[in-house]
Amino acid sequence: MSPSDVDRLIDELTIEEKAALLSGSAPWESTPVERLGITSIWFADGPHGIRRETAPLVSLPATCFPTQSCLGATWDRDLVHRVGAALGREASAQDVAVLLGPGLTMKRTPLNGRNFENFSEDPRLTGELAVAYIRGVQSQGVGASLKPFALNNQETFRHWVSVEVDERTFREIYGAVTERVVRDAEPWTIMNSYNRVNGVFAAQDAWLLTTVLREEYGYAGTVISDWGAVHDRVAAVAAGTDLEMDFTPGREVSALAHAVRSGRLEQSVLDRSVRRVLELLARAASTERGIPLSREEIDAHHALAREAAAAGTVVLRNDGVLPLSPGSGTVAVVGRYAAEPRMQGGGSALVNPTRVETALEAFQAVAGSVAYAPGFSLTDSARDEALESEAAAAAAEADVAVVFLGQTDGTESEGYDRATIDVPDNQLRVLDAVTLTGTPTVVVLVNGSVLRVEPWHESVNGLVHGWFSGQAGGPGVVDVLFGAVNPSGRLSETMPVRLEDSPGFATFPGERGEVRYGEGVFIGYRWYDALDLTVSYPFGHGFSYTTFEYSDLAVEVIDTTTGAVTVAFTVTNTGRRAGAEVAQLYVGDTEATVRRPVRELRGFAKVYLEPGESSRVVLDLNNRDFAWYDVVDALWRRDGGTFVIEVGASSRDVRLSASIELPDDPRIPALTEDTDLGLALQGRHKFDPYDQDEAGRSDARHHAQPGTVDAVPWRALGGFRGQGSAAFG
């Protein structure tokens, strides 16, 4: 089938066949229509490896790459693209036409059980890496599925909780990722989420799936449902969910056909989705699949998994103990995760690895001598003093101790959230026993999302975050520990001093069916900066084994109308080793009409430099990098005034800064003093708070009078669904 067949097939398909086409025929397969030569295609998870089920929860071997939280810490578009291409190649080999990834979810709370399946707490970093990943996958003739759209930032109540979010927050943070990915990567499919958004199930939300996604973001691909996310198939088609996927698919095919025959659903609306599904099938039909991987490809993918694991490893703290000296001295390797790798989280993303290499094996291959001590049980949270003593004895005899710590399996997964971000107490007891020996100690964190490291991190000599880094994560982190790879990982999510400091703490996981995103746009570092909170390690932080200097910042305003600005600066490797620096560009709006974050990531570059080498980095800014979303006038508004341009090695390690002046955006109506910024309903009122009526109430029109617009509950108006005319750029 080719794209040129689509019009003819729409004419020839019966209503029943069309309805069937809009649902899967099996959990992982679309519906064929043999009569017209329409073949089915296969879908498979997941974001860090192919889970091609051959039986329930049994899948074919595939490379278990580092999870997205590790890839997010690479800040490396090229590397993520290469991982995406390898995933696409493996999907193709297993005759998978659409790979169900990447995750787009913002890390609103460190507790989200699926944080390991997502890149970051920042929409720009997430969007750019998702673009690289999708372009990689789709370069292999396999479709990606950006997921889940939208606002599935927790697993608790995920199937029905209503995320109560204001429109500005949605557009500036949560929607912005999809907007960028649609524009720059054109994913074949986008998967909608289970949850409700301001009371409406995402799969049945026309504002989300048609007004925003298609009419404003310009998405032209196919929207598929999450598995079981459709509650009313007719409403879902009408809203823009083209293909329903489910573990028991096709339940409502007859209802869909009946809805068309009875006039409840316009035939044109049915055909709209039929066209999108046929176009997906035609795309899939245009490439050959099923060519097995060669042995060389399998080995090359394992090597790539190791490279990516090393690149995502973040050196958080180092008093000089790192890098370790290969081939000399004794290393006490403590903690079961060195021998029993915790390479991924649970749920639909689970991969059956082609092979697994452990950190312990890698230590034994590179260190002088190794003493291994498991230190603690993974199945019993109780202290084991014998294991503690064994670990202490090993450390006492060693030149350095490397202690692997992380929460236990079953704490990070699809389907439920974490209860804590603390390292289990029995593991901290082992760390105490090791540090008390006085042997220099390095801790490696093996976790899908951030952990609380206070106060013990100040008593260790080195601290490294290894994430869930896949089947070759062990050797990958050891490559960094011994300096075979100069670390270049940077935090893509803040490490708070305590969970209570995190932005979603007071509202997670919600109550009575709703979770309110009361922090607004202030998630991640935006929150900690707004409250000027101390953090253990900030967004963007990570050490190298060399040093970098920033110099010669030049900010040039190219066009005051479009907001085109170039930011140029020089990065120099001032150390004795080659290495990569992640130079980060942040913008702060100091004179906005609304409350804005202190700084927001608006660009980054990963530059690889030899000792003494310099690189001139030039990053471009455009209007959207300065604008906020004005819900009253339904547009992106750049306030005139002073903007601070910051360049640095993390969100809290600013090396260069400059201020620029930009005027109001002349292309949009200026704010006037009587524009009521508090009123987001139709028909802008002139709101004069001092215009008291006889009852002493200010501006009587704002007190709901029966039958007036104000009297209609905000939700009944579909929340913020009546507006929206965002323009990207």
CB closer to ligand GLC, 226 vs 412? 226
* Residue (55 or 386) nearer to ligand GLC, CB: 55
Of the candidates 623, 626, 630, the one whose C-alpha atom is nearest the C-alpha of residue 642 is 626
3-state secondary structure of 369: strand
Binders in 413-442 for ligand GLC, by CB under 6 A:
414
Structural tokens at position 411: 């704490």
Distance CA(465)–CA(248), nearest Å, equals 40
Helix (H, G, I), strand (E, B) or coil at 149: strand
Nearer to ligand GLC, 90 or 501 (CB): 90
691 is an active site residue: no
Nearer to ligand GLC, 109 or 145 (CB): 145
User: How is residue 65 written in tokens?
Assistant: 């790459």
Q: Which amino acid is at 509?
A: P
Amino acid at 316: L
**Number of DSSP helices (H) and strands (E) in the chain, helices first:** 17, 28
Of 333, 609, 367, 314, whose CA–CA distance to 480 is shortest?
314
| Among 272, 303, 373, 305, CA closest to 74 | 305
Nearest alpha-carbon partner for 116 in 463, 424, 423, 451? 451
Residue whose C-alpha is closest to residue 136's, from 95, 180, 92, 169 = 92
What is the total residue count of the chain? Answer: 729
Residue 197 CA to residue 204 CA, distance in Å, equals 10
Q: Which of 456, 407, 447 is nearest to 429 (CA)?
A: 456
**DSSP 3-state of 248:** coil
- Minimum Å distance from CB 180 to ligand GLC? 20
Distance CA 603, CA 625 (A): 9
Contact between 316 and 450 (Cβ < 8 Å): no
State how far the alpha carbon of 109 is from the alpha carbons of 268, 494, 519, 527, 570, in Å.
42, 10, 11, 11, 35
Q: How many residues bind ligand GLC (CB under 6 A)?
A: 7
Under rule CB under 6 A, residue 348 binds ligand GLC: yes
Q: Report DSSP state, residue 619.
A: E
Residue 616, beta-bridge partner list: 570
Tell me the closest approach of the beta carbon of residue 176 to ligand GLC, in angstroms: 21
Closest CB to ligand GLC among 404 and 416? 416
15: CB partners within 8 A, 6+ apart: 257, 260, 261, 267, 270
Q: Which residues face 654 on adjacent strands? A: 648
Which residue in the set 81, 82, 147, 301 belongs to the binding site for ligand GLC (CB under 6 A)?
147
Cβ of 551: how many Cβ atoms within 10 Å? 11
Residue 100 interacts with ligand GLC (CB under 6 A): yes or no:
yes
> Mask 109-138, x = binds ligand GLC (CB under 6 A)?
------------------------------
The amino acid at 333: V
- Tokens for 642? 């002073």
What is the smallest separation between the CB atom of 256 and ligand GLC, expressed in angstroms? 21
Determine the Cα–Cα distance for residues 592 and 641; give it in Å rounded to an integer: 8
Of 159 and 606, nearer to ligand GLC (C-beta) is: 159
Position closest to ligand GLC via CB: 348
Please state, in angstroms and rounded to a whole number, the distance separating the CA atoms of residues 102 and 141: 16
What distance lies between CA 431 and its chain's CA centroid? Answer: 31
3 state DSSP class of 184: helix
Nearer to ligand GLC, 110 or 347 (CB): 347
Nearest approach in angstroms of CB 181 to ligand GLC is: 16
Q: State yes or no: residue 665 binds ligand GLC (CB under 6 A).
A: no
Give the whole-angstrom CA distance, residue 523 versus residue 539: 11
Rounded distance, CA 578 to CA 544, Å? 10
Instruction: Enter the tokens of residue 22.
Output: 């809009």
- Give me the 599-618 binding string for ligand GLC, x by CB under 6 A, dash otherwise: --------------------
Find the Cα–Cα–Cα–Cα dihedral 622, 520, 494, 308, rounded to 10°: -60
> Which of 76, 122, 226, 639 is flagged as catalytic?
226
Largest CA distance in the chain: 88
Binding mask 227-266 for ligand GLC (x = CB under 6 A): x---------------------------------------
Interface characters, 372-411, with ligand GLC (x: CB under 6 A): ----------------------------------------
CA-CA-CA-CA torsion sign (519, 522, 528, 532): negative
Binding mask 182-221 toward ligand GLC (x if CB under 6 A, else -) reads ----------------------------------------
CB 103 to ligand GLC: min, Å:
8
Calpha distance 41→325 (Å, rounded): 52
Residues that bind ligand GLC (CB under 6 A): 45, 100, 147, 226-227, 348, 414
Catalytic residues: 226
